[in-house]
Amino acid sequence: MRRYRQLTISSENNHVERWLVSYADYMTLMFALFVVLYSLAITKEEEFSVLSDSLESIFVQPEIRTEDGSGVKGEGLLLKNSVESEFNLYGNAITDEERGPELVDGFGDLVNLKKKRLGSPLESLNQELKTALFDHIEAGEAKVELDQDWLTIELSSGLLFGSGSAVATLNAKKVVKDIYEIVKSVDNYIRIRGFTDDRPINNELFSSNWQLSVARATEMLLQLERLGINPAQMAIEGYGEHSPTSSNETEEGRAANRKVVIALSKYALPAKENKVSPEAVNQETVIIEDAKAQKANPEIKVIELPHGGIRITTREEELNK
């Protein structure tokens, strides 16, 4: 009788590496998450606000249509983290008329701007200013920097003023004139910021570094205003000794902290609609026509001279003699 040797077949486990599938799915999801976070970080504020409004309209208090056509609002899927109260927005005001400016957190932000309009691109102004101030930048007296919201022109106080003074020097007027030639055609908001070192000051003009920083910023603003910059674009910020960018322990650091910064915002003045009423147009037309009629038909005056004789004239000044 033939004996058949029993063949033992070892079954291999085909599921040993199954965990790699779950791990790959997890890594794919994490990659997608960080791609979305990165895209949100680099998205412009205007585009992000559109996306936010769209998501809010979908997830916050969705409206359900009934058969009769009426809408019923639900509770919504997204809840706000905090409630904006009247105190948070306006401070402790008694009546609506006494409300102060809206309180906004953030350093160097443009406050009280309900409608923000983008101004001229800061990139082109950045290159033009660097070219105009090239000599001062090479000498370490000026610095031009651009970030997402601001184009800042940092000017050393030694270039603009004497020690402990807020009177602009000839060099300051020339530098401001160079800056004006670049920014005169734009309507971007301008913030002029004054900074000092931590050495106390107490002379006949200034009793603190607060006053000195504000006075120097004011002088730069007045220089720009005299040249023709719209005052509505500009504002003054004084930081005194309390926002140093370098250490006050060394002379170089103190010199770096004594400065005036002219900052141009990416936002600009809202466009004004100059609407002239028909009554004003008609009134102006009548005034112009009257002036033309008087000029075309001047009144003839006869003046008796002291020693006899007369003078005939149409000039008004002759009557006052």
Residue 130: predicted pLDDT: 92
In a domain, 53, yes or no: no
In a domain, 5, yes or no: no
Q: What are the start-end ranges of the E strands in 185-309?
A: 188-195, 234-240, 259-268, 301-304
Last residue of a domain, one of 74, 97, 114: 114
In a domain, 37, yes or no: no
Long-range contacts of 151-154 (CB under 8 A, 24+ apart): 151/122, 151/125, 151/126, 151/263, 151/264, 152/261, 152/262, 152/263, 152/264, 153/129, 153/179, 153/261, 153/262, 153/263, 153/264, 154/259, 154/260, 154/261
Last residue of a domain, one of 246, 268, 290: 268
In a domain, 76, yes or no: no
Determine the residue type at 247. Answer: S
Same domain assignment for residues 182 and 292? no
Same domain assignment for residues 160 and 299? no
Last residue of a domain, one of 268, 294, 310: 268
In a domain, 250, yes or no: yes
**Residue range(s) defining the domain that contains residue 297:** 278-320
Q: What CATH number did the domain enclosing 151 receive?
A: 3.30.1330.60
In a domain, 316, yes or no: yes
Same domain assignment for residues 125 and 164? yes
Same domain assignment for residues 123 and 200? yes
Same domain assignment for residues 214 and 298? no
Same domain assignment for residues 264 and 286? no
Same domain assignment for residues 145 and 217? yes
Q: How many domains does the chain have?
A: 3
In a domain, 60, yes or no: no
Side-chain-facing half-sphere of 286: CA atoms under 13 Å: 6
In a domain, 220, yes or no: yes
Same domain assignment for residues 89 and 212? no
- The contacts of residue 52 (CB under 8 Å, 6+ apart) are none
Q: Could you give the CA distance from residue 108 to residue 235 in angstroms, rounded to a whole number?
A: 11
Same domain assignment for residues 99 and 138? no
List the structure tokens of 293: 């009629």
Same domain assignment for residues 296 and 224? no
Same domain assignment for residues 260 and 293? no
**One digit per residue, pLDDT tens: the chain, 321 residues?**
455 555 445 555 566 677 888 888 889 999 999 988 887 777 666 666 666 666 666 665 555 555 565 555 555 544 444 444 444 444 444 455 545 445 444 445 565 555 678 888 899 899 999 999 999 999 989 999 998 889 999 999 989 998 888 999 999 999 999 999 999 999 999 999 999 999 998 888 888 999 999 999 999 999 999 999 999 999 999 999 998 989 999 999 999 999 999 999 999 988 775 444 555 545 555 555 555 555 555 566 667 666 666 666 666 554 444
Q: What are the start-end ranges of the E strands in the chain?
A: 63-65, 71-73, 117-118, 142-146, 150-156, 188-195, 234-240, 259-268, 301-304, 310-313
What does the chain come to in residues?
Answer: 321
Give Cα separations from 124 to 35, 128, 146, 174, 266 (angstroms).
Answer: 30, 6, 11, 22, 12
Same domain assignment for residues 283 and 244? no
Residue 79: predicted pLDDT: 45
- Residue 31, H or E segment: helix 19-42
Q: Could you give the CA distance from residue 60 to residue 53 in angstroms, rounded to a whole number?
A: 10
